[in-house]
Structure 1
Amino acid sequence: MDYLNNLASTFLDWKVIGEVLPSLFAVGLPNTLVLAVSSGIIGTALGMLLALMGISRNLVARWIARVYTDVFRGLPAILTILVISLGFGPGVRDLTGIASPYPMGVAALSLISAAYIGEIFRSGIQSVDKGQLEASRALGFGYGPAMRLIVVPQGVRRVLPALVNQFIALIKDSSLVFTLGLMASERELFQIGQDEASRSGNLSGYVAAGIFYLAMTIPLTHVVNLIDSRLRTGRAKNRGEKQEPDAAVAVVGKGAHS
């Protein structure tokens, strides 16, 4: 019984949680969202470029995309963040005068997510029946317009669940920028929880931060399920098939990486 009481007081000290909540709301949550959304947008743009390079007729472009993807998917995210931020950060700081490591954290997360998103887009585009491209060419479309207007939109629609899963992973990976020594106003959820744990000698700060992560990722997980269910239902209707009950159940947690 004493063990359970000690465990509860270590992880569920409501006084500590109440003290850290304002900082989590006012500083940690906005910074986590900025990191995830900004790197998600940049990573999506770079990922689409990588996907198009990966299916390009140009051998050099395909090799560049392949090497980039292999490198950034093969390295641990925290190692990539440290190498990019600590390696290139001083040079960027000298050129721009920006002392904060925050932009380099965004850049590192963007480059990492681009490798995964690029593979998601590439698989989606290549899953489109080649007859779509042939039919559009027969109607007078050039290769570029046919890909841009017909093939790519269909491929993107097919991988929407995987893209949302990747954004969930990006929210969690944003916690790794704490290694860069962010200023107090730049600290994300994990760093604030860690600071509170160090100050109070109690782990409830981590629990409070974890609750915020769950509040963001669990609804997004259900969004993945909903999108996947709608896509499956639409495909079954288009083929005139009767949808089996299990076909509407999406598998939760299969992101591009964890």
Structure 2
Amino acid sequence: MEILGTLWSTFFDLESMRAALPELLRVGLSNTLVLALFSALIGTVLGMVLAVCGLSRSRWLRWPARVWTDVFRGLPAAVTILLIGVGLAPVGLELWGPNPYPLGILALSLIASAYIGEIFRSGIQSVEAGQLEAARALGFSRPAGMRLVVIPQGVRRVLPALVNQFISLIKDSSLVYFLGLLATQRDLFRIGQDAAANTGNESALVLAGLFYLVITVPLTHAVNAIDRRLREGRRPDANDHDDSELPPLALAQEAR
């Protein structure tokens, strides 16, 4: 019982949590969301470019995409953040001053793009070859068939894996503290870590972890619900002739 009491007072002390809560809400949560959202957006765009280049017939597009993916998937996230954050620090100082966030976002985006590119590539390759062939038979060019028929189906198939990568990105955002953060720039993890170091109690760090759960768990359940809805569709209505019920090739043909 004494051991349980020690664990509870060390990791679940309500007073320590209450003291850290305002700063976690006011500073840490917003900074974490900024890092994760911008990195996810940039990483998704770069990942789609990598996926398309990786599937290209041209080796001049395929091999650079392969090298990019291997490098940023192979390096530890902390090493990538330090290489970019420290290596490009002089450029960052000239462009936007001492704020480390742009370089941190750049590093996280490059890491995310390598994983997201592989996710997109696997999703696109999982689409039956007959889909593109049917699109070509309808008069679409290969790029148009990929853009309007194959890629939308591939993205839908990898939606859960894509959200899992976003969740990993939210957690990896805590590594930006390696670049040095001002008091107003700290994320959830850094605030919890500082509070734990100052008080000798780990409860604030546990509370920061609970914030990560609050962000990621609903996101997981939401994407599972969306994926289930996309797979099952909705019950047909005799009076409903929504274009969303048309097959992908019909939608693509209407888009021409």
TM-score normalized by structure 1?
Answer: 0.87
> Structure 2 CA distance, aligned partners of 1:63 and 1:83?
23
2:116 matched to which residue of 1?
117
2:93 matched to which residue of 1?
93
> Structure 1 CA distance, aligned partners of 2:181 and 2:99?
7
Query: Which amino acid in 2 is paired with 1:171?
Result: I
Q: Does structure 2 conserve the Cα–Cα contact (< 8 Å) formed by 1:158 and 1:231?
A: no
Query: Which amino acid in 1 is paired with 2:78?
Result: I
Deviation at 1:97, TM superposition (A): 4.4
Q: Does structure 2 conserve the Cα–Cα contact (< 8 Å) formed by 1:36 and 1:174?
A: yes
Moved more, 219-228 or 60-69: 219-228
Considering only aligned residues, what root-mean-square deviation do their CA atoms show, in Å? 1.4
Which digits, 9 at most, give the CA deviation of each residue in 1:13-60, with x for residues without a partner? 111100100001011001111111100000000000000000011111
> Structure 1 CA distance, aligned partners of 2:30 and 2:188?
9
Q: Secondary structure at the match of 1:56?
A: coil
2:21 matched to which residue of 1?
21
Q: Secondary structure at the match of 2:88?
A: helix
Deviation at 1:139, TM superposition (A): 1.1
Aligned residues: 234
> Structure 2 CA distance, aligned partners of 1:107 and 1:97?
14
1:205 matched to which residue of 2?
204
Q: Does structure 2 conserve the Cα–Cα contact (< 8 Å) formed by 1:132 and 1:151?
A: yes
2:135 matched to which residue of 1?
136
Query: Which amino acid in 1 is paired with 2:55?
Result: I
Give 1:79-90 correspondences, 5 Å limit.
79-90=79-90
1:156 matched to which residue of 2?
155
Q: Does structure 2 conserve the Cα–Cα contact (< 8 Å) formed by 1:165 and 1:224?
A: no
Q: Does structure 2 conserve the Cα–Cα contact (< 8 Å) formed by 1:161 and 1:227?
A: no
Which digits, 9 at most, give the CA deviation of each residue in 1:98-156, with x for residues without a partner? 22111100100000000000001111111111111111111111111111111111111
1:60 matched to which residue of 2?
60
Deviation at 1:196, TM superposition (A): 0.6
Q: Does structure 2 conserve the Cα–Cα contact (< 8 Å) formed by 1:44 and 1:117?
A: yes
Task: Confirm whether residue 48 of structure 1 aligns to residue 48 of structure 2.
Answer: yes
Q: Secondary structure at the match of 1:167?
A: helix
Query: Which amino acid in 1 is paired with 2:182?
Result: M
Query: Which amino acid in 1 is paired with 2:20?
Result: V
> Structure 2 CA distance, aligned partners of 1:89 and 1:108?
12
Deviation at 1:193, TM superposition (A): 0.2
Which digits, 9 at most, give the CA deviation of each residue in 1:63-98, with x for residues without a partner? 00100001100111111111111111223323x142
Deviation at 1:2, TM superposition (A): 2.2
1:238 matched to which residue of 2?
none
Do the aligned partners of residues 31 and 97 (structure 1) sit closer, same or farther apart at CA in structure 2, a change above 3 Å counting? closer
Query: Which amino acid in 2 is paired with 1:165?
Result: N
Deviation at 1:232, TM superposition (A): 4.3
Query: Which amino acid in 2 is paired with 1:128?
Result: V
Do the aligned partners of residues 97 and 171 (structure 1) sit closer, same or farther apart at CA in structure 2, a change above 3 Å counting? closer
Query: Which amino acid in 2 is paired with 1:57?
Result: R
Percent sequence identity over matched residues?
A: 63
> Structure 2 CA distance, aligned partners of 1:121 and 1:97?
33
> Structure 2 CA distance, aligned partners of 1:221 and 1:97?
35
Deviation at 1:3, TM superposition (A): 2.0
> Structure 1 CA distance, aligned partners of 2:132 and 2:2?
69
Gaps of 5+ in 1: 235-258
> Structure 2 CA distance, aligned partners of 1:90 and 1:198?
31
> Structure 1 CA distance, aligned partners of 2:231 and 2:150?
19
> Structure 2 CA distance, aligned partners of 1:141 and 1:73?
35
1:104 matched to which residue of 2?
103
Deviation at 1:231, TM superposition (A): 4.3
